[in-house]
Amino acid sequence: MENIIYDNHFNANEWFVIGIIVLGLVPIWLFPRPFSPSQITFNMLIGITFALIFDHTIAVPPFDLYDTGNQSKFELFDLFSYIMYGPYGYWFIYWYERARMYEFMTIVYILVWAGMAIGLEWMGVKTGEFHYKHGYQLMYSCPIYLLLMSIHLKMYRMAFAPDRWKRK
């Protein structure tokens, strides 16, 4: 497989990743932290894990639908592009718990967050962080975000439900 070089300078795509990480992490220290350390770890790691799973599913052969960063092969800075998803897994659950949403509003909430994810991905495309290939388009990410956010919320509820240890 041929390595495609999109850029070889520290510029907009690296600043985009750094900015997203800072914008996600700094408020965590400023806002009240209602979660236990295990809840914080779970929500941060699930964002990173989902990014890794889907990047290594649809961004590598046989699909090879997009590249991240300056070139098609993995670079050290690509690690930071995975880390940038961590704080948003945290914020996704933080605001869900804070608003105490249930039933129908949960659907609206997931749709809003998927819209924000699409917006951030669009910014990533514009800054050169994401490079689509083989006809992949931004709109194809919509069902992926909807699925992942639904799974994240379901897993969080299962893992941290107040009654999870009670016998029925």
Distance of alpha carbon 54 from alpha carbon 74, whole angstroms: 15
Using a 10 angstrom Cβ sphere, with 0-12 exposed, 13-18 middle and 19 or more buried, the burial of residue 57 is exposed
Q: How many helices and strands in the chain, by DSSP H and E? A: 6, 2
Closest by alpha carbon to 90, among 151, 146, 153, 47? Answer: 47
Distance of alpha carbon 78 from alpha carbon 83, whole angstroms: 9
Residue pair 112/84 in contact by the 8 Å Cβ criterion: no
Residue pair 47/57 in contact by the 8 Å Cβ criterion: no
Phi, psi (5° rounding) for residue 101?
-85, 140
For residue 74, pLDDT beyond 70: yes
Q: What is the pLDDT of residue 166?
A: 62
Strands 130-132 and 66-68: antiparallel
In the chain, domain spans: 12-160
Q: Read off the DSSP letter of residue 24.
A: H
Q: What is the pLDDT of residue 14?
A: 96
pLDDT tens digits, one per residue of 45-57 = 999 999 999 888 9
pLDDT tens digits, one per residue of 145-167 = 999 999 999 999 999 987 666 65
Decide: pTM greater than 0.85: yes
Q: Residue 155 corresponds to which tokens in the numbers above? A: 């897993």
